[in-house]
Structure 1
């Protein structure tokens, strides 16, 4: 795989940004996709200020006319002569949904969607996404961590860029909208601007990024793609191995991406070159559907902790060791799982404050703390053997998404 890299004269960045928007989207399973249409109204309302182009020599009437036209094109509302009010449904709805389904078929498994970092399915997804980006008029490249970039540089735009995107990797047995929605929606929005001849009128560069890793499934290390661009990924993480003993660096080299300590550092974006970041994402929870809203603006992001816990006991024959003499780590692990669930459901019953917290902290945890044991394994894992040890992976969130619900 060719790995073109932007020239040093083209400054690109991505750390913690001054303008960050994260939109959660609930997909209704309906032929006309009403939520998708409402979602496009929101995305274009964010992009429209970037697409407005005015000249200092223009008259106020001309400016008002231009602004009105842009508003109608961007939001797809109202019917005035000479403006398009169908939201370009062939692209923003039909083609976007078709691409979501197409990318959802790119999987390493035959029976479910599974596309982990640098897996064969991920490699097949890269040219597909690049092709869609180029179809929207973007210049594309793949960086040293496998992130796919598509960028448009307006002729008279500022140097600070708006970044839009999401992740292209998935969990095991994933939904087809997770991550993919943010990538495809961004590409579709820019494609409409291209068709309207407005791509060159953007006030600043716009870059779409399909991050190679967010889920952390393969290497149990999340955000490999975005962490590299943010400059917070330690070089040591290149040596982390998967269950087959293949390191991150090896996985990249197997796919003709020759990453080194030096060029990993080169991936860091300069914060001064980024105006903001927008990501559209499905909610992945039941809240929006429960309250009956199609969209919500995220005001807080979840902070997660992953732990691997090993419970050791005394291995023995399941049919001969008396119950009174057993030290069964499986039952111990089960008790820990139940305790963990109780702590997350009723943290006030278990947590107490010291000098580093107050009652408000405990109260906030009572409304937001969640936890799950998502993976458990035993040794030697035989039906007639008391296990010698049990390993479990815990996943906890210190806060949940907080929504500002939109009535549309």
Structure 2
């Protein structure tokens, strides 16, 4: 314990020198394994907190916009962010590369390169006017934990390869098609997506070629991983909701991710002069669209009033939707969009999410029926297009239990430090056993949804202030960043290090 205590307390450069000296003395020490184990039982605030937070801030400044954060698929800022992440991967001792979909990879082969690999990932792209934690938190905490293993001489002693992936696109802002990066790795990205174009007419294929990445329908499959080479996937992500903050806890484990459908509704009416067409003679698509949005809101607030056939409410379906069904209109655009013109056409998006896939389909069916009913009554033409579908994804129970144990271990490590930052006499395992780690559902989509088509997945949520996300106001405290890094470190110790080299928290 003396080595571990000194290493934790000394300034970072002295800590590294002490590590090197300790490694030189290993052949003459009968307690080498114990020394390693105690060494990585440190809290490492200089890496897991201070450096991690500094990197989140630095990455948050890499933007395509002035005055706010915007970093979309294969934009100049996205490429700069990927290059920055590669340098941090190399700093953690990882071999790096960029694949044909722009995903940035960092990998340690460990002792057995032929073993199935643990993948850890999240996304480097952002929404428009974003915060600095969404996506980036999962990448940075993983790299911080691996850096701790590296400076303790453990990286090459991993019993299986470990790979961090910074996915190029999860948000789907530029091409309105989510999970471009992770779906390609999972092998579920349709080749047709290469020809989808953005608002400027640039295709996915063209955006990649602009950055010297050649991709075609034939070689897209080169990005896909063989399921037989992958042991599992974990993802750390800010909660994007208020539950953990309400509970007063920094970490939670995810049970499953809600399924999602995105629709585009187009309403076509009769364009005309705002001052000369009588109200009773109008075929106004704007008024029709407004009514449809209220219909959607009512349907999703009270599905039991709508999901009834032959007078019987589908109780099991309604029950399955309780607590998870959410519906949102996020975009509206009109033509010709002038204040003195009755629009000729109005389009809007609909986002529907629920944990129960059959229940979600029932909502979509009922919404489509009501849309055509309202449009018929108003003498306008309506078109409903399904733009995106993702089935609900359940996290693997066994992998989630390991992640939950790691989160408890992180809490246990906090538990042996008193309010003044000094070590207490209680054992880490004793405190960890009493640390609560809640199990949550995720209403937001994550790369883990796509990766669940490749391998078993688990997710760790990190508390955020006010549950705010997709906003510059999103915030994760420095101590909670630290707790997340400790949890990833504990998970790596438990699942990738030999028992005699790690602390067993299971």
- So what's the TM-score if we normalise by structure 2? 0.63
Spell out the pairing of 1:37-48 with structure 2 (5 A cutoff): none
Quick one: distance in 1 between partners of 2:66 and 2:339?
29
Return the match for 2:335 from 372, 379, 384: 379
Return the match for 1:99 from 40, 44, 55: 55
Contact 1:313 1:328 in 2 (8 A): yes
Matched, 1:251 2:282: no
Quick one: distance in 1 between partners of 2:286 and 2:227?
49
Matched, 1:113 2:144: no
Change in Cα spacing, 1:69 to 1:386, as seen in structure 2 (3 Å) is same
Matched, 1:215 2:171: yes
Return the match for 1:363 from 297, 304, 319: 319
Quick one: distance in 1 between partners of 2:299 and 2:36?
55
Return the match for 2:103 from 147, 154, 164: 147
Write out per-residue CA displacement over residues 298-343 of structure 1, whole angstroms, 9 at most, x where no aligned residue. 0011211111100112111112222222221111111111111111
- For residue 121 of structure 1, report the CA deviation from its aligned partner: 0.8
Q: Which runs of 5+ in 1 are unaligned?
A: 1-60, 77-84
From the two aligned structures, give the one with the greater helix fraction: 2
Quick one: distance in 1 between partners of 2:56 and 2:342?
46
- Aligned-residue Cα RMSD (Å) equals 2.3
Contact 1:159 1:273 in 2 (8 A): yes
- For residue 133 of structure 1, report the CA deviation from its aligned partner: 0.2
- For residue 262 of structure 1, report the CA deviation from its aligned partner: 2.1
More displaced stretch, 309-318 vs 124-133: 309-318
Spell out the pairing of 1:117-196 with structure 2 (5 A cutoff): 117-156=73-112, 159-196=115-152
Deviant stretches of 4+, over 3 Å? 65-69, 400-405
Contact 1:116 1:218 in 2 (8 A): yes
- For residue 353 of structure 1, report the CA deviation from its aligned partner: 6.3
- For residue 390 of structure 1, report the CA deviation from its aligned partner: 0.4
Q: Which runs of 5+ in 2 are unaligned?
A: 1-29, 356-391, 396-403, 405-435, 439-482, 484-506
Q: Which residue of 2 aligns with 1:6?
A: none
SS for the counterpart of 1:155 is coil
SS for the counterpart of 1:150 is strand
Quick one: distance in 2 between partners of 1:164 and 1:73?
23
- For residue 157 of structure 1, report the CA deviation from its aligned partner: 5.6
Contact 2:259 2:393 in 1 (8 A): no
Q: Which residue of 2 aligns with 1:279?
A: 235
- For residue 159 of structure 1, report the CA deviation from its aligned partner: 1.4
Return the match for 1:388 from 308, 331, 344: 344
Quick one: distance in 2 between partners of 1:143 and 1:398?
33
- So what's the TM-score if we normalise by structure 1? 0.77
Quick one: distance in 2 between partners of 1:330 and 1:309?
12
- For residue 214 of structure 1, report the CA deviation from its aligned partner: 0.7
Return the match for 1:300 from 253, 256, 268: 256
SS for the counterpart of 2:219 is helix
Matched, 1:339 2:295: yes
Change in Cα spacing, 1:388 to 1:294, as seen in structure 2 (3 Å) is same
Quick one: distance in 1 between partners of 2:243 and 2:271?
44
- For residue 206 of structure 1, report the CA deviation from its aligned partner: 0.2
SS for the counterpart of 2:59 is helix
Spell out the pairing of 1:34-113 with structure 2 (5 A cutoff): 66=33, 70=37, 72-74=38-40, 76=41, 85=42, 87-113=43-69
Contact 2:117 2:232 in 1 (8 A): yes
Q: Which residue of 2 aligns with 1:312?
A: 268
Change in Cα spacing, 1:141 to 1:349, as seen in structure 2 (3 Å) is same
Contact 1:346 1:366 in 2 (8 A): no
Matched, 1:241 2:197: yes
Quick one: distance in 1 between partners of 2:60 and 2:309?
46
SS for the counterpart of 2:297 is helix
- For residue 67 of structure 1, report the CA deviation from its aligned partner: 6.5
Quick one: distance in 1 between partners of 2:45 and 2:342?
60
Matched, 1:289 2:245: yes
Change in Cα spacing, 1:276 to 1:307, as seen in structure 2 (3 Å) is same
SS for the counterpart of 1:164 is strand
Contact 1:344 1:366 in 2 (8 A): no
SS for the counterpart of 1:237 is helix
- For residue 345 of structure 1, report the CA deviation from its aligned partner: 1.3
